[in-house]
């Protein structure tokens, strides 16, 4: 399980409070990512190293490309579109407006262009997972979650993965690509008893799962059967999520957080909140766009 000779770069000294949700735009060759508590959607250009941001006026947990110059966002209790030319935010639908303790967290689109996003309540199991379809219909897919987090689909589109960070588990479900239904939840990875928590994840073209480990100083690659295959050590305590990007989809972009760290922890984890890029020899799956 030792690390291969991959090259890790700190590509942006962002010092984000809670960097999350990295999303690769394969058309424009840009990486979008969010800083949840600073209410920012970031647009990072790897070719120039330039990072622009949009202040969306409220927490933003997840994003997906939704056509030319447009993103769909999961904010505190609603979905909205963001125009990446003007910065204009257009509300779509309120979802958990009557649950002030909750906020939306991680999300992404499935290969059919449906937007999946989950909510969290750190101290209660009252989070849910939703699917928002291109026809404007909203579907509750799972309930009883504490921190709905890292999600994705296997290359053959037969398996859906979902993380509940507080429970230290990654679940697997059967996935029906045609209907968008999920069934037969089972534990894929159980990290109970560890000192860290599975956070955002991505899946590579071989069907292996890469999960960022909050408080774990690492990203772990899991075999499709759940076995840990590889552990990539990082110079920061709180990796939050990861996604593949670049021309060949072999660059793993990793977001991180500084929120909640003491001064002593910050000194040990000086680059917390920065954006990292790991050059690998494995291609990721493409990022799917919202087709609504």
What digits encode the pLDDT tens for the residues 32-46?
Answer: 999 999 999 999 999
Q: What is the pLDDT confidence band of residue 129, given thresholds at 50, 70 and 90?
A: very high
What digits encode the pLDDT tens for the residues 160-197?
Answer: 999 999 999 999 999 999 999 999 999 999 999 999 99
Asked whether residue 289 is assigned to any structural domain, the reply reads no
Domain with 150 in it: 7-279
Q: What is the pLDDT confidence band of residue 3, given thresholds at 50, 70 and 90?
A: low
Residue 92: pLDDT over 80: yes
Asked whether residue 116 is assigned to any structural domain, the reply reads yes
Asked whether residue 291 is assigned to any structural domain, the reply reads no
Asked whether residue 292 is assigned to any structural domain, the reply reads no
The strand order across the sheet containing 218-222 reads 197-203, 209-214, 218-222, 228-233
Q: How far apart are the C-alpha atoms of 40 and 34, rounded to whole Å?
A: 6
Rg of the chain's alpha carbons, rounded to an integer? Answer: 17
Contact 131/116 with Cβ under 8 angstroms?
A: yes
- Rounded mean pLDDT, 114-135: 96
Quick one: pLDDT at residue 123?
86
Asked whether residue 285 is assigned to any structural domain, the reply reads no
DSSP 24-46: EETTTTEEEEEEGGGTEEEEEET
Asked whether residue 78 is assigned to any structural domain, the reply reads yes
Q: Tokens 């204009």 identify what position?
A: 88
Quick one: pLDDT at residue 5?
82
Contact 231/4 with Cβ under 8 angstroms?
A: no
Mean pLDDT of the chain: 97
- In the chain, the percentage of residues whose pLDDT exceeds 90 is 97
Residue 18: pLDDT over 80: yes
**Based on the structure, what is the number of domains in the chain?**
1
Annotated catalytic residues are 199
The enclosing domain of 22 has a CATH number of 2.120.10.30
Residue 2: pLDDT over 60: no
Count the alpha carbons within 13 Å of 190 in the hemisphere toward its beta carbon. Answer: 4
What digits encode the pLDDT tens for the residues 228-260?
Answer: 999 999 999 999 999 999 999 999 999 999 999
Asked whether residue 109 is assigned to any structural domain, the reply reads yes
Asked whether residue 63 is assigned to any structural domain, the reply reads yes
């Amino acid at each position: 399980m030792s690390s291969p000779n991959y090259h890790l770069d700190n590509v942006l000294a962002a010092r984000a409070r809670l960097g999350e949700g990295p999303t690769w735009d394969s058309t424009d060759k840009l990486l979008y990512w969010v800083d949840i508590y600073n209410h920012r959607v970031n647009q990072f250009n790897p070719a120039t190293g330039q990072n622009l941001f949009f202040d969306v006026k409220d927490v933003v947990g997840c994003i997906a490309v939704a056509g030319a110059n447009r993103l769909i966002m999961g904010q505190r209790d609603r979905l909205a579109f963001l125009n990446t030319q003007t910065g204009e935010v257009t509300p779509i639908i309120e979802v958990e407006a009557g649950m002030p303790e909750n906020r939306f967290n991680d999300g992404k689109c499935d290969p059919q262009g449906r937007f999946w996003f989950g909510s969290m309540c750190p101290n209660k199991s009252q989070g849910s997972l939703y699917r928002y379809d291109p026809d404007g219909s909203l579907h509750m897919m799972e309930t009883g979650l504490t921190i709905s987090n890292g999600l994705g689909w296997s290359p053959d589109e037969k398996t859906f993965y979902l993380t509940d960070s507080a429970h230290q588990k990654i679940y697997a479900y059967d996935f029906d690509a045609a209907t968008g239904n999920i069934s037969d939840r089972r534990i894929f990875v159980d990290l109970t008893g560890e000192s860290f928590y599975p956070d955002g994840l991505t899946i590579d073209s071989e069907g292996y799962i890469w999960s960022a480990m909050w408080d774990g100083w690492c990203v772990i690659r899991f075999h499709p059967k759940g076995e840990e295959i590889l552990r990539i050590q990082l110079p920061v305590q709180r990796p939050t999520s990861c996604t593949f990007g670049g021309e060949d989809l072999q660059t793993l972009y990793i977001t991180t957080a500084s929120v909640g760290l003491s001064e002593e922890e910050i000194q040990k984890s000086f680059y917390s909140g920065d954006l990292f890029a790991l050059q690998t020899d494995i291609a990721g799956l493409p990022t799917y766009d919202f087709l609504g």
